[in-house]
C-alpha cells in the first residue's frame, strides 16, 4: 500500500482486541475516521476473557449491539465452586442486579466470539481491520505537514 492509497485517518487504533474494536465502533459512530491495525490477521481462536459485565452491555445498548451479544451469549444463573475435585459451594446469582441494570445477570460470551461480532459490525460500517503480521508499532513520527503523523511498524 502506498501513501496515496491510505485513507485519511483521524485516529489510528493499534490492537484489534475487544477494547480497540469497540473504540473503533464508537469513534466511527461519532463521525471520526479511524484506521485499526493488529499484528494478527484474524481474531483469536481461543478465549482470554469469559464474561461480559452489565455495564459493558449497557454501553453496547447505545451502539445497538447489546441484544446480539445477549442472544449469542449465555446467562449465568448459578455457579459451583470446586476445591481439590470436590464441590465446595453453590452460588445462586438470582436477581442480583435487578433494578440496577437492564442486564441484571452475568453473561458468558467468549472473547474470540466477541471479537468476531465486533469485527462484523465494523465491516458493516465500512471499517476494515488491517493486519500487520509479526510487527509492532515502533514509532509515531511527525511528518513535514503540521499535525500529521506517520506510523512506523517493524518486524
User: How large is the average pLDDT for residues 129-137?
Assistant: 67
In the predicted structure, residue 59 carries a pLDDT above the cut 90: yes
- pLDDT band of residue 136 (cuts 50, 70, 90) is low
pTM recorded for the entire structure: 0.76
56 vs 116: CA distance, rounded Å: 17
% of the chain surpassing 70 pLDDT: 79
What per-residue confidence (pLDDT) applies to 39?
A: 80
* Domain 1-49+110-155 listed as CATH 1.10.3720.10: no
What per-residue confidence (pLDDT) applies to 128?
A: 87
User: Domain boundaries in the chain?
Assistant: 1-49+110-155, 52-107
- pLDDT band of residue 3 (cuts 50, 70, 90) is very low
Amino acid at each position: 500500500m502506498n501513501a496515496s492509497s491510505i485513507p485519511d485517518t483521524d485516529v489510528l487504533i493499534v490492537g484489534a482486541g475487544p477494547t480497540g474494536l469497540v473504540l473503533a465502533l464508537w469513534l466511527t459512530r461519532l463521525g471520526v475516521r479511524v484506521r485499526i491495525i493488529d499484528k494478527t490477521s484474524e481474531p483469536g481462536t481461543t478465549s482470554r476473557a469469559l464474561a461480559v459485565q452489565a455495564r459493558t452491555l449497557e454501553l453496547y445498548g447505545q451502539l445497538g449491539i447489546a441484544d446480539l451479544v445477549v442472544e449469542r451469549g449465555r446467562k449465568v444463573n448459578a455457579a459451583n465452586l470446586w476445591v481439590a475435585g470436590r464441590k465446595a459451594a453453590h452460588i445462586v446469582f438470582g436477581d442480583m442486579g435487578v433494578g440496577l441494570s437492564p442486564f441484571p445477570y452475568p453473561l458468558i460470551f467468549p472473547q474470540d466470539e466477541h471479537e468476531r461480532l465486533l469485527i462484523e459490525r465494523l465491516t458493516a460500517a465500512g471499517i476494515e481491520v488491517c493486519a500487520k503480521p509479526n510487527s509492532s508499532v515502533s514509532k509515531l513520527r511527525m511528518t513535514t505537514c503540521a499535525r500529521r503523523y506517520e506510523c512506523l511498524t517493524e518486524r
